[in-house]
Chain A
Amino acid sequence: MASLMTGRPEAKAGNTDQTITFDLARQSPRELNRFLHQDLAATSMRHITVLNPDGAHSVAVGADAPFDIDVEGHVGYYAAGMNKQARITVHGNAGPGVAENMMSGRVHVRGFASVSAGASGHGGLLVIDGDASLRCGISMKGIDIVVGGSVGDYSAFMAQAGRLVVCGDAGDGLGDSIYEAVLYVRGRVKSFGADAHEEPMTEADVTSVRELLEQAGFKHDPHEFKRIASMRSLYHWNADANQEY
């Protein structure tokens, strides 16, 4: 068996005044997160490297200071959840609910993201280089999300505020029951959800998309994007509709 095993990368040149390394092959995500929540403030650390995440859950959740975290591999459920201020880069793929409920800061997934990326995020920027699966940006409340690839079905479901930029295509039911979030899609939208529709791009939209693409590091012409927003026909109960919408 030993000959078949993938060699684990060596721990990077030890810890310094500025950098600390957590190796999840030997340490638990809880140790990492406890350090972020309790011990970090008393140190001068500004950079954390996480090795061998190997799909672990809840990697680097609840950060609340402006430091950088590099996660060297794939992560499981809820990575970088509830992030505040920190700049977290996952050098791999992310499982369900990456950056869920993010408040501020930046989370960057270099690979693909599973379902519910950025769910209910209040602020900050989530960048996904690859595709995001179903329900990307579900119930987003102010977060900005930029997806380099495509998003799956029911993305931005009940999205309340914030912006979702999709450089590829969107699946079925995009923006179902959307409130005041705005979606920008460069490719094809398979279908709109209830109350979502395409609107003309204004100069302000072009500027928004340009800025978000720049922040995310994607090179596309912002004029190629279309704007999708709410028709606002579900905002108020319509007694005359007789249950037909």
Chain B
Amino acid sequence: MCGIVGLLVKNPALRAQLGELTVPMLIGMTERGPDSAGLAVFTEPLPENERKINLYSGLTEDGADFNWHGLAHELATHLGIEAKIDAIGNHAVLSFGLAPEPVKRWIQEHHPKLHILSTGRSIDLYKDTGRPGEVASRYNFGSLTGTHVVGHTRMATESAVTPDRAHPFTAGEDFCLVHNGSLSNPNSIRRQLEPLGISFQTDNDTEAACRFLEWRMREGDDLETALQKSFDELDGFYTFLMGTTDELAIIRDAFACKPAVVAETDEYVAIASEFRSLAKLPDVKHATIFEPKPEEMYVWRV
């Protein structure tokens, strides 16, 4: 079991309250996913030539005491970049005006235990072990702002309970995926992707789905085409919720094994595993409520 939640605000005035609206949704899925939680939030994109990467230091020896400003200083010394660091405990957003690959390579080489959570111009990503309410207050989810959010509460079934195996997973830039269910062919997906130079951070089945979809989109598919291919290639039980810079998308497997319900108003579209997580949204009584059908794609744009 796991819980998924997603929220896209249509009314720009609600962007300031994105985190505030999301926290009760995430906490509502605590029974479905008590061991870890996380979310990706999509913000106003940085300028074309800038990137931000989100980093997690919980797996380093220093943990939440990691010297983030020291890292910024090292990057200035060794790569000559002026990086801005925005840190809360074991999490930091590092933004800079450079292609992300050399920066990520340098970090992986010199701080191998620092976990790279996300890369892009608009995505910020937080995930950690603990109950959803604890994780939400650890990173102050209530204060997050942006256009849409993709969240998850985890009850691990197929790989260990660790921060890097919590959801969302990311691949490439400004793409993330959360999963309720279990895949039966993640290893064959890995064997298909690894020879193409795609490397994996964990042994988690969801990461295989995430990297498969990002690979298809990098090869030129739009999200809809990539999702269509995933129906043929990915085997198992799944409700996938995905975010890109300007989209929120959901698909369910052919048997609709894992639940999902959508509430849509003129102000927002909200998605959760169960109505429990939607019950406290503003004016939900007048929302259009429906369950996504199996093997159909639902994509909402900002």
Contact = CB atoms under 8 A, between A and B. Distances in A.
Interface string B268-287: 00000011111111111100
Contacts of A54: 275-276, 279-280
Give 3 nearest A-B pairs by CB, closest first. Answer: A55-B275, A54-B279, A55-B276
A134 B284 contact: no
A96 B276 contact: no
A contact residues, range: 20 to 34
A234 B284 CA distance: 48
Given A1-B17, A95-B259, A134-B294, A55 B282 contact: no
A4 B17 CA distance: 10
Interface of A: 1, 4-6, 54-56, 74, 76-77, 93, 95-96, 111-112, 114-115, 133-134, 152-154
A6 B259 contact: no
Interface of B: 17, 20-21, 254-256, 259, 261, 274-285, 289-291, 293-294
Contacts of B20: 1, 4
Contacts of B290: 112
**Residue from A74, A93, A152 whose CB has the most chain B CB atoms within 10 Å:** A74
A133 B290 CA distance: 10
A6 B284 contact: yes
**Residue from B284, B290, B291, B294 whose CB has the most chain A CB atoms within 10 Å:** B291
A153 B274 contact: no
A96 B278 CA distance: 16
26 contacts: A4-B17, A4-B20, A4-B282, A5-B282, A6-B280, A6-B281, A6-B282, A6-B284, A55-B275, A56-B276, A76-B275, A77-B274, A93-B275, A95-B274, A96-B259, A112-B290, A114-B259, A114-B261, A115-B259, A133-B256, A133-B291, A134-B255, A134-B256, A152-B256, A153-B294, A154-B255
A158 to B, nearest CB: 15
A14 to B, nearest CB: 23
B292 to A, nearest CB: 10
Given A76-B274, A114-B291, A55 B279 contact: yes
Contacts of A112: 290-291
A95 B275 CA distance: 8
Nearest to B276: A55
B77 to A, nearest CB: 44
B68 to A, nearest CB: 30
Contacts of A95: 259, 274-275
Given A114-B291, A133-B256, A133-B291, A5 B280 contact: yes
A13 B278 CA distance: 27
A135 to B, nearest CB: 9
Contacts of B282: 4-6
B37 to A, nearest CB: 19
A5 B24 CA distance: 11
B218 to A, nearest CB: 33
A174 B259 CA distance: 21
Contacts of B255: 134, 153-154
Given A4-B282, A114-B259, 9 more contacts: A5-B282, A6-B285, A54-B275, A55-B275, A56-B276, A76-B274, A134-B294, A153-B254, A153-B294
B161 to A, nearest CB: 24
